[in-house]
Structure 1
Amino acid sequence: MADAQARPLAFITGASSGIGQALAARFHAAGYDLALVARRTAEVEAWATAQALDANRWRVYGADVAVTDSIVAAGAACIAQQGVPDVVIANAGISIGIDTAQRTDLDVMARLLAVNNVGLAATFHPFVAAMAARGSGRLVGIASVSAIRGLPGHGAYCASKAGVVAYCESLRGELRASGVKVVTLLPGYVDTPLTRGNRYPMPFLLAPEAFAERAFRSIEAGSSYRVIPWQMGLVAKLLRLLPNPLFDRLFQGRGRKRREGEQ
């Protein structure tokens, strides 16, 4: 028990694949205990066992981030079983294209916002007061470089990730005097199941492990805002500066993110 109390703890949602798993592996390698959250708990347990992670240093919590009471309960269970985390990473998210002319896509957008925005706030909720009382901790929101400029066919996803940036900025100000850091990470293109179906070029594509290494360093440093890789941040900021007519012309005809059910 003394060893467990001495080790830091990372709470990570979306731990069943992609960025979530890569972050879990990186934090474990750095000596953290893990609280791993996913709907598909069996997959997380199988992955952790296959990676030969120390069985005494991780627990899996089943939760649906789209359901507020579900993810809040997972946070409460983590505190009861493992204590207040040092790092909370709200990584769970979905990425689906929409067409506003289609009625069914409005429901898709509602579900996407429930996961990417409300789910992120609900992930942080159980830990805010406890971290503030302790005077330390890091709350990490995973946004996207897509937050910087809206792209055709990506309306729901871009809106949700812009919302992550704005929400984390607000929360950072609220917690500034508490000792709790709020870190906003904006991944560019990372090779995960979410991106493999994209129908457009993905410059500066990173392996999940490469992203996790850079993200880990940013989280440890308590960076308030970081685009990974930095080259995508530069590209996005340049696009933000383009006059609207030029930007619209440049992206006319670009492949759109797949809508739900599209092959």
Structure 2
Amino acid sequence: MNQALVYITGASSGIGQALAARYYAAGWRLALVARRAAEIEAWCAAQGFDPGRWAVYGADVRQVDSIVAAGRACIERQGVPDVVIANAGISVGIDTSQYADLEVMRQTFETNNLGMAATFHPFIDPMRARGSGVLVGIASVAAIRGLPGHGAYCASKAAVVSYCESLRGELRPSGVRVVTVAPGYIDTPLTRGNRYSMPFLMSAETFADRAFRVIASGASYRVIPWQMGLLTKLMRIVPNWLFDRAVAGRGRKRRQGE
């Protein structure tokens, strides 16, 4: 029997790379996707990964034709994956009074939302035909409440949660599962420039191990770590006046170029 196959976007660093290492350690084959394909290839070689167990596809999730072509190439070369993880994403602060930041918002939604749908697209019909498969959307605890200076990212991740929930209902009769994983603060290049406190910060490797187990468990939605899950439950019920007071003066996410 062939080894199970996982397809991961945004695999050249951070969470994506940590997930690739975790799945490889568990005996899976890897289909890894990123714009910087050469970097992933060099990393896989440096890790001593068996060349027969991984393949790299260069693609830009912002370009629909590019990421769809990568998915189709994976199916042709390695077969239909058992798990697809739409992990690629960007996080940039915006100031809506600044005209240039409207383009940043467009880029954020193209990457974090349209890119996710385009990532899943090539695999849905083959997974339906097979009657199995898992599509994983990487959201964020930032989806729960809007944070000052973080409007594009918070809005995009809230959209990830809603989109995955819709897709889960659509695909449930087919045997294809949709899982939403919402990371808290993970130590990656995306978070190291933050100018505010990051409670329950965890390493990308620890996150990957927990996400691996969540995806295998059959869960449909999970916040990692669990402490952030409790905090997000509280954030949902806190009245606006109290929430607004709590985030007043909070450091803003750095804008592009800062």
Secondary structure of 1:175's counterpart equals: helix
- TM-score calculated relative to the size of structure 2: 0.99
RMSD: 0.7
Which of 197, 202, 208 is residue 212 of structure 1 equivalent to?
Answer: 208
Q: Distance in 2 between matches of 1:78 and 1:47?
A: 19
Secondary structure of 2:7's counterpart equals: strand
Q: Distance in 1 between matches of 2:155 and 2:174?
A: 29
Q: Distance in 2 between matches of 1:169 and 1:150?
A: 19
Q: Distance in 2 between matches of 1:182 and 1:118?
A: 17
| Aligned pairs, number | 258
Secondary structure of 2:15's counterpart equals: helix
Which of 107, 113, 126 is residue 111 of structure 1 equivalent to?
Answer: 107
Alpha-carbon distance, 1:221 to partner: 1.3
Secondary structure of 1:184's counterpart equals: strand
Partner of 1:179: 175
Preserved CA contact (<8 Å) 1:182 1:222: no
Which of 120, 126, 145 is residue 130 of structure 1 equivalent to?
Answer: 126
Any stretches of 5+ residues in structure 1 without a counterpart? Answer: none
Give yes or no for the alignment of 1:90 onto 2:86: yes
Alpha-carbon distance, 1:21 to partner: 0.4
Alpha-carbon distance, 1:222 to partner: 2.3
What is the one-letter code of the residue matched to 2:192?
R
4+ residue segments displaced more than 3 Å:
none
Alpha-carbon distance, 1:50 to partner: 1.0
Give yes or no for the alignment of 1:190 onto 2:217: no
Partner of 2:242: 246
What is the one-letter code of the residue matched to 1:257?
K
Partner of 2:253: 257
Preserved CA contact (<8 Å) 1:11 1:34: yes
Give yes or no for the alignment of 1:78 onto 2:74: yes
Q: Distance in 1 between matches of 2:136 and 2:40?
A: 21
Partner of 1:43: 39
Alpha-carbon distance, 1:53 to partner: 1.1
Alpha-carbon distance, 1:247 to partner: 0.7
Q: Distance in 2 between matches of 1:239 and 1:126?
A: 36
- TM-score calculated relative to the size of structure 1: 0.97
